[in-house]
Amino acid sequence: MTNKEILSRLLALTHPYRLQLVLACLAMVFGAAMTSLLAYLVKPVLDQIFIAKNAFYLNWLPLVVIAVFLLNSIFYYLHSYLLEFVGQSVVRDLRVRLFEHVQAHSLAFFHTYPTGTLISRVISDIALVQQTVSSALVTILRDFFQIVFSLALVCYLNWKLALISLLVIPVAAWPIIKFSGIFRRLSARTQEETAGVSNRLFETITGNRIVKAFGREGHENGRFRNQIAGLFRVVLKDAQFRSLQHPLTEFIGGIAIASFIWIGGWEVLRGGMTAGDFFAFLTALISAYGPVKDVSALNSTVQKGLAAAIRAYDILDLPPDITDHPKAVELPPFKGEIRFDHLSFAYDGQEVLHDINLRVPAGQTLAIVGASGGGKTTLTNLIPRFIEAASGTVIIDGHDVREVTLASLRRQVAIVTQQTILFNETARYNILYGNMEASEATMLQAAEAAYALDFIQALPEGFDTVIGEGGSRLSGGERQRLCIARAILKDAPILILDEATSALDVEAEREVQKALENLMRGRTTFVIAHRLSTIKNADRIIVVKEGRIVEEGTHDGLLTLGGEYANLYRMQFS
């Protein structure tokens, strides 16, 4: 993506704030005019006051200077605040768009982009875009108008010298052009290294129990030092070029100003211009050179922002692989059956499920068992379209799930997994996440049905107790019962239990199992189970092996059959 393309896309984001942008530009025009007027006032100060000793100018020019400074300050405040407002608004909108776009993607997307990388894109990358849009936009637009007015004044005072100055400006701009590509490449590498640091931090902090359990603190410290060292090298390289660009621009500017002093001095000596003309010309020229130098200093910041914007748009330009069909309809309340019709699924070219045919009538409890990696979770993930089948269909009450809206489909599915996903919010918030519109009484009933009411009321602030990151202030069984209460409150007719008790001890499992029985009552339930003792009473059990259904029946019937299920049961209870 070229600079022009990315700048065009960023500029399009300012469209809702075009009124503020126009007012800011007008303020900058008037501000630049005031700055040029100050440069021009050097001429009457020298010629009329210090040389001609004119008392009238001595009395009035200081008042004019004060008025010009006052107006310049007002215009500076207006354009600075308005452009900051526009820049911050654009960044806010871009950050929200990026977050919402990430949320729209399927599970496969999150397997491709690690958590730390996504966090880096939303926070670090957009922060760099913010610097470009806010700070750099303010400076570049202001300096552009300043250069225009200063050069206009230079041409008015002495057009011959002005022509020479116009030849010098491209030379002064050469370092900006030369270093732009370097800064862009270094910025892209910096963001990649920053994302790597984010990933390392996220993995180490979330996995701190394993790190400590295996005594790998030293190992992780070394890995983090290496990651930081990579970032340090890139940042230092960027600093090297930034430090080189500034003095190079200063040196070129110094040569230009020295040349004009020499040429202008000869013009004054031979009577071609007055001392006031010369110093006004020099002041205007310095006023034009200052913005060029500012743009040079901002070059690194701008290139970082552009590189960050490209990384953000790499995500935004990636369309979600699972979306509503253009003619998608609302899925009616489920009451018939769920059918898997010749269903296959592949991941990275490797087939995980093969030609699955299965009917599950409403109200039935179907247990899915098999060795790890056999495709059990993949099968249930196809129901709410967390992933998309390679071939075949999932049909609910005669509706292909690809032809109904995702919102109406997922409203009818509740999930409780082995990994308890809870927010660092209150117990109340985590339960109400199942139905934000539920009444207090309904929420209490859900907590009671999940056998969670007693332990929640025993918390320091009851339902208003913040439970910590991932529910860290609760035990494993308490976390799981909170998840069950959330699922009960959702009151969805289809329920998926993915190893919901496998991580619990016997006592906690007993409490959770009672809560699950309340949750499963009257619902069509898919139970992925590792502990076969928990599914003895399932209406039907299927055994999945290497992506295929190899056995089907009741607990007793499958034991009598003496096949895969019997082998699994024997291994578990021998």
Q: In the predicted model, what is the mean pLDDT of residues 308-335?
A: 89
Closest CA to 490 of 446, 427, 424, 429: 446
Neighbours of 76 (CB within 10 A): 17
Dist. CA 412–CA 33, nearest whole Å: 65
Residues 300, 301, 307, 311, CA torsion sign: positive
Residues 72, 12, 87, 235, CA torsion sign: negative
Dist. CA 284–CA 37, nearest whole Å: 9
Cβ–Cβ < 8 Å for 33, 149: yes
What band does 394 get if pLDDT is binned at 50, 70 and 90? very high
Dist. CA 42–CA 74, nearest whole Å: 22
Neighbours of 248 (CB within 10 A): 16
Output the CA torsion 277→280→284→286 (10° steps). Answer: 110
Helices (DSSP H) in 158-274: which residue ranges? 159-206, 208-213, 217-269
Q: What is the pLDDT of residue 276?
A: 75
What band does 176 get if pLDDT is binned at 50, 70 and 90? low
Dist. CA 499–CA 528, nearest whole Å: 5
pLDDT at 271 over 80: no
- Distances in whole angstroms, Cα of residue 426 to Cα of each of 430, 444, 460: 6, 14, 11
More confident residue, 181 or 530: 530
Q: In the predicted model, what is the mean pLDDT of residues 335-343?
A: 92
Hey, what amino acid is at 531? R
Secondary element (H or E) of residue 377: helix 376-381
Dist. CA 340–CA 365, nearest whole Å: 16
Q: In the predicted model, what is the mean pLDDT of residues 174-187?
A: 72
Q: How many CA atoms lie within 13 A of 429 on its CB side?
A: 12
Phi and psi torsions of 420, nearest 5°: -80, 115
What pTM was estimated for this model as a whole?
Answer: 0.73
Q: What is the pLDDT of residue 70?
A: 93
Q: What is the pLDDT of residue 401?
A: 93
Average pLDDT over the chain, rounded to an integer? 83
Dist. CA 158–CA 168, nearest whole Å: 16
DSSP state letter for 402: G
* Residue 164 burial (C-beta neighbours within 10 Å; 0-12, 13-18, 19+): middle
List residues bridging with 345 in a β-sheet: 353
Cβ–Cβ < 8 Å for 422, 141: no
More confident residue, 113 or 281: 113
Dist. CA 140–CA 138, nearest whole Å: 6
Q: At what angle do helices 476-490 and 506-520 cross, to 10 degrees?
A: 0
- What domains does the chain contain, in order, with CATH numbers? 3-316 (1.20.1560.10), 337-573 (3.40.50.300)
Q: What is the pLDDT of residue 297?
A: 61
| Residue 500, helix vs strand vs coil | coil
Cβ–Cβ < 8 Å for 36, 284: yes
Q: At what angle do helices 275-316 and 18-40 cross, to 10 degrees?
A: 160
Dist. CA 514–CA 382, nearest whole Å: 28
- Mode of pairing for the β-strands spanning 540-545 and 365-369: parallel
pLDDT at 89 over 80: yes
Cβ–Cβ < 8 Å for 184, 238: no
Cβ–Cβ < 8 Å for 124, 191: yes
Q: What is the pLDDT of residue 283?
A: 75
Q: What is the pLDDT of residue 168?
A: 67
Q: In the predicted model, what is the mean pLDDT of residues 106-123?
A: 81
- Mode of pairing for the β-strands spanning 524-528 and 494-498: parallel
More confident residue, 388 or 276: 388
Cβ–Cβ < 8 Å for 267, 273: yes
Secondary element (H or E) of residue 394: strand 391-396
Look at the block and give the residue holding tokens 């329920």.
495
Secondary element (H or E) of residue 454: helix 453-457
Cβ–Cβ < 8 Å for 37, 68: yes
Q: What is the pLDDT of residue 460?
A: 92
More confident residue, 259 or 395: 395
Closest CA to 316 of 131, 2, 88, 99: 99
Closest CA to 420 of 317, 335, 503: 503
Dist. CA 368–CA 122, nearest whole Å: 38
Query: How confident is the model over 520-561, as pLDDT tens digits?
Result: 888 999 999 877 877 888 899 999 988 899 999 999 899 988
Which two three-digit tokens encode residue 153? 């004044």
DSSP state letter for 325: -
Q: What is the pLDDT of residue 337?
A: 93
More confident residue, 157 or 112: 112
Q: Is 227 left (phi over 0), alpha (psi -120 to 50) or beta?
A: alpha
- Mode of pairing for the β-strands spanning 350-361 and 337-347: antiparallel
Question: In percent, how much of the chain has pLDDT > 90?
Answer: 22
Closest CA to 250 of 293, 297, 300: 293
Q: What is the pLDDT of residue 166?
A: 66
Q: What is the pLDDT of residue 242?
A: 74
Query: How confident is the model over 148-169, as pLDDT tens digits?
Result: 777 777 777 776 666 666 666 6
- Mode of pairing for the β-strands spanning 391-396 and 337-347: antiparallel
Which two three-digit tokens encode residue 59? 């009395």
Which two three-digit tokens encode residue 3? 């600079």
